[in-house]
Amino acid sequence: MRALANLIVDLRSDTFDEAAAVAARGRLASRGFLIEECERDDALCAWIDIAFGGGWSGEAFRAKNLVVSHDGQRRAFVSLAAQGLRFAWLRNEGSRPGTGIFGPIGVSAEARGSGIGSDLALLGCLRLRELGYERAFIPAVGEVQLERFYERALGARVVERIDPMRWWEPRARVVAMASGNGSNLQALLDAIARSELPIDLAAVVVNRNGAYAAERASSAGVRHIERVLWNRAEETRASYDVRLRQIVERYEPEGVFLLGWMHLLDEDFIRRFPELLNLHPAYLPHDPHADDVTLPDGSTIPAFRGAHAIRDAVAAGSPWIGASVHRVSAEADRGEVLVRRPLLCERRNENELATALRPIEHRVTVEAIRLWCFMRDRICVV
C-alpha cells in the first residue's frame, strides 16, 4: 500500500482573494452550476452515502459544506473545518493552531470531467480563509494523481507521509461476537485474509447452539471460539452478563465487534470495552438524539432501532431500509455512526429485505472497521 500524503495549503497566499472567488463562481455559473453552503444537512449526508460511500457523510455532518448542484441535482461537495474527528493522521500537522481541515471532496460520476473540481477546491480554501484559518490541511491523500491535482489547483505541498503498513503494526487485537449465521463475520474474516484490515482476531464468541458463525470462524483458522450460552432456567441475567464479560476480558481486546449479536449488553460490559462497535440493520441518523432520518430524496423515515429493525420497517411501510455500524452506548443504537448505507425497498417481505440488505451489511462492516483502525493511536510518519 502506497504511503499516504498529508498536504498543507497556505491560505495567506494571493491565490485566495475576492477576485479569485468571483472568477470561480462565475465559471461555475456560466455552466449552469449553483453553489450553496450548508451544515448538518441530513439529505446531503444521505446523498454522500449513496454517491461515495465510506465514512464521508460522518465527516460532512461535522463540517461546513459547499455543495454544487445542476438542475436541482447535487453534483459535488467539499467539507470544511470538520470538528471532533478522531483520525490519527490529524494529530500532528492537522492539530496546529490556525489550521482548518479541508475535505473530503467528491464529484459525482455524472459531473466528472466537467472541471468543477478545481473551482470547488479553490472556493473551499477561500471559505476556510474567511473562517479565519491560515492553513488548510488536506489529510491522507493516497493517489499520486490527486496529490498533483492539489499541487496545481491550490499550491499544496506535502508536509507528512504516513506508511499505513508500519502504522498498523502491531495489529489490533479484537474479539467478534455473533449469534447466528455469521455472514457478516465472514465478511470480516475474508477482509483479514485479503490483508485489507490490520486485525488480529483473538476470539469469536457465540451465544446460541448451532450458530453457524462458530463454524465459519473454525474454517478460517480462528484459534479461540467461545460458546457462551445462557440457560435462563438455571442462571440469572446478572450472572450471565458477568460471565460473558469475564470471558471477553481474557483476550484483552483493543476492540469488540458485534456482528449480528442478539443479546443486549449491560452497562458494565459497555464501560469495560469502550471500543465497542455494532452492526445494525437500519439506516441510522448521525444525530444520536434524532428519532428519524433523512434519505437521499429528502423524505424521512423513523430511525428503526432495536432488535427487529427490518420487521419494524416493513410494518411501517417504509420505502427505505439500510445498514449502519455505530459505536455502542448505554442507549440502544444511539452511538456515533461510523459508516451507513441506505437501500430503497423493492420487496415488502421481511426475509427478502434481509437478503437484499446482506451485501450492504458486509460492505459497511468492513468499511467501518477500516475507519476504526485509522482512529487508533498509532501513526508512523516517514
What strands, in cross-sheet order, belong to the sheet with 73-80?
33-39, 64-70, 73-80, 99-107, 135-141, 4-10, 157-162
Q: 106, 132, 162 — which closes off a domain?
A: 162
pLDDT at 13: 93
Question: How much is the pLDDT for 381?
Answer: 55
In a domain, 380, yes or no: no
User: What pLDDT score was predicted for residue 378?
Assistant: 61
- CATH code assigned at 158: 3.40.630.30
Say which CATH number the domain at 291 has.
3.40.50.170
> Rounded distance, CA 91 to CA 311, Å?
42
Mark whether 180 and 277 lie in a shared domain.
yes
Q: Which residues of 37-49 are buried (b: 16+ CB within 10 A; e: fewer)?
A: eeeebbbbbbbbb
Helical axes 350-374 vs 183-193, angle rounded to 10°: 40
Residue among 123, 94, 58 nearest 325 (CA)? 58
Separation between Cα atoms, residue 59 and residue 359, nearest integer Å? 24
**152 and 237 belong to one structural domain:** no
Report how many domains make up the chain.
Answer: 2
Q: Indicate if 79 and 201 belong to the same structural domain.
A: no
pLDDT of amino acid 115: 86
Do residues 94 and 226 both lie within one domain? no
Alpha-carbon distance of 90 to 336, in angstroms, equals: 19
Residue 380 pLDDT more than 60? no
pLDDT digits over 137-166, tens only? Answer: 999 999 999 999 999 999 999 999 987 766
Based on the fold, state whether residues 302 and 364 are members of the same structural domain.
yes
**Between 75 and 349, whose confidence is greater?**
75
Greater model confidence, 251 or 376: 251
**Has residue 307 been placed in a domain?**
yes
Whole-model pTM?
0.93
For residue 154, what is its C-alpha cell? 491550490
What pLDDT digit, counting tens, does each position of 81-134 carry?
999 999 988 988 999 999 999 999 999 999 888 889 999 999 999 999 999 999
Q: Are residues 117 and 175 in the same domain?
A: no
**Amino acid present at 366:** V
Same domain, 140 and 204: no
Q: Is 382 a member of any domain? A: no
Task: Report the alpha-carbon distance of residue 303 to residue 285 in Å, rounded.
Answer: 7
How confident is the model over 23-44, as pLDDT tens digits?
999 999 999 999 999 999 999 9
Look at residue 1 in the predicted model and tell me its pLDDT: 60
Residues 140 and 195 in one domain: no
Query: Residue 231 falls within a domain, yes or no?
Result: yes
Angle of helix 116-130 relative to helix 144-154, nearest 10 degrees, comes to 60
Residue 114 DSSP SS3: coil
Q: Which domain holds residue 206?
A: 169-374
Residue 379 lies in a domain: no
Whether residue 120 sits in one domain with residue 72: yes
Do 251 and 351 sit in the same domain of this protein? yes
Output the pLDDT for position 2: 73
Same domain for 318 and 300?
Answer: yes
Domain end marker among 135, 162, 189: 162
- Residue 49: what pLDDT? 96
Of 136, 162, 188, which closes a domain?
A: 162
Helix (H) or strand (E) holding 73: strand 73-80
Give the number of residues written for the chain: 382
Q: Look at residues 136, 46, 133 and name the one whose alpha carbon lies nearest to residue 98.
A: 133
- pLDDT (tens digit per residue) in 270-319: 999 999 999 999 999 999 999 999 998 889 999 999 889 999 999 999 99
List the beta bridge partners of residue 69: 34, 74
Residue that has been written with the C-alpha cell 480563509 in this structure: 129
Strand pairing report for 255-258 and 4-10: unpaired
Least confident of 247-261, 272-286, 320-334: 320-334
Whole-number Å distance between alpha carbons of 282 and 243: 30
Residue 204 reports pLDDT greater than 70: yes
pLDDT of residue 127: 97
